[in-house]
């Protein structure tokens, strides 16, 4: 199976280990992974801020870069949602792209979703072991693409991993891109709520599969003196498979 990695700009620069883990796990599962180096950003920041023309340009570019891929897998729910939820409407007047857009929308997956729903992975059969107590941040954009308990399903298949659900699991972390910068007092109150919920679980590791959420929550944990490690599920699986130290 040929898979193109859409790394996303935040993961590329802030969380490369998450992307490395994604590549290693996919390869371990028998996928051939390529990385189209011309990719940059899906255009979500511009789209969310109302800069339609600018986001349209970036969307076209993504469609071109990923046109020939069989599958596109990304370690970010929010960027997957940008492509799947918004590209068709955003480029609806662009007849030249119509076919390529619907193709891209149909073949783009968030990493965890791809593992569960396309590769139909059962980690129990693969001897994946990761001893430790974790909690999981359910990022909002997974809601948009209809992903609900796939990550929990996978976590439960990992030997030794003890998953503690956090309170108000489906409450946003308050990131929201530029929202966090424009309305710091609101965003700060929301993320501090999340920090409290994490503290209550007693888990030392937070699994968070969206780079934006991770930047926000980990930054707030650090400010509040709440000691927590952040990892993506891809990293946990890669570590559990012995692919990453």
Residues that bind another protein (CB under 8 A): 7, 9, 11-17, 19-20, 23, 35, 37-41, 43, 45-52, 54-55, 57-58, 61, 140-141, 143-144, 168, 170-172, 174-177, 179-193, 215-216, 218-220, 222-223
Are the C-beta atoms of 65 and 28 separated by less than 8 Å?
A: no
Q: Which residues contact 106 (CB under 8 A, 6 or more apart)?
A: none
- Residue 176 Cβ, how far from another protein at the closest point, in Å? 3
Nearest by Cα to 78 from 140, 16, 156, 134: 140
CA geometry: angle 200, 230, 13, nearest 5 deg: 150
Of 39 and 108, the one with the shorter C-beta distance to another protein is 39
- Residue 72 Cβ, how far from another protein at the closest point, in Å? 16
Gap between the Cα atoms of 212 and 8, Å rounded: 11
Gap between the Cα atoms of 145 and 85, Å rounded: 7
Gap between the Cα atoms of 236 and 160, Å rounded: 12
Of 6 and 157, the one with the shorter C-beta distance to another protein is 6
Of 60 and 112, the one with the shorter C-beta distance to another protein is 60
- Residue 224 Cβ, how far from another protein at the closest point, in Å? 8
- Residue 167 Cβ, how far from another protein at the closest point, in Å? 9
Of 30 and 125, the one with the shorter C-beta distance to another protein is 30
Of 149 and 170, the one with the shorter C-beta distance to another protein is 170
- Residue 208 Cβ, how far from another protein at the closest point, in Å? 13
- Residue 175 Cβ, how far from another protein at the closest point, in Å? 6
Q: Which residues contact 60 (CB under 8 A, 6 or more apart)?
A: 91, 94, 97
Residue 152 neighbours by CB distance under 10 Å = 17
Gap between the Cα atoms of 10 and 118, Å rounded: 25
Of 202 and 225, the one with the shorter C-beta distance to another protein is 225
């Amino acid at each position: 199976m040929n898979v193109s990695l859409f790394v996303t700009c935040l993961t590329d620069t802030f969380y490369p280990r998450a992307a490395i883990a994604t590549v290693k796990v996919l390869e371990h599962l028998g996928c051939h992974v390529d990385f189209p180096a011309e990719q940059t950003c899906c255009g979500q920041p511009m789209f969310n801020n109302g800069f339609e023309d600018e986001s349209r340009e970036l969307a076209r570019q993504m469609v071109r870069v990923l046109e020939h891929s069989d599958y596109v897998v990304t370690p970010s729910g929010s960027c997957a949602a940008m492509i799947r939820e918004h590209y068709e409407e955003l480029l609806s007047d662009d007849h030249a792209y119509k076919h390529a857009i619907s193709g891209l929308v149909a073949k783009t997956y968030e990493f965890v979703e791809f593992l569960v729903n396309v590769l139909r992975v059962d980690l129990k059969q693969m001897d994946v072991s990761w001893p430790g107590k974790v909690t999981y941040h359910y990022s909002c954009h997974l809601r948009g693409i209809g992903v609900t308990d796939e990550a929990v399903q996978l976590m439960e298949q990992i030997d030794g991993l003890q998953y503690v659900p956090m309170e108000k699991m489906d409450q946003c972390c308050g990131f929201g891109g530029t929202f966090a910068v424009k309305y710091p007092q609101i965003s700060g109150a929301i993320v501090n709520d999340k920090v409290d919920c994490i503290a209550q679980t007693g888990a030392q590791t937070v699994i968070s599969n969206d780079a934006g959420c991770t930047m926000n929550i980990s930054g707030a944990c650090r400010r509040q003196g709440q000691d927590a490690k952040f990892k993506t599920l891809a990293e946990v699986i890669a570590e559990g498979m012995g692919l990453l130290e």
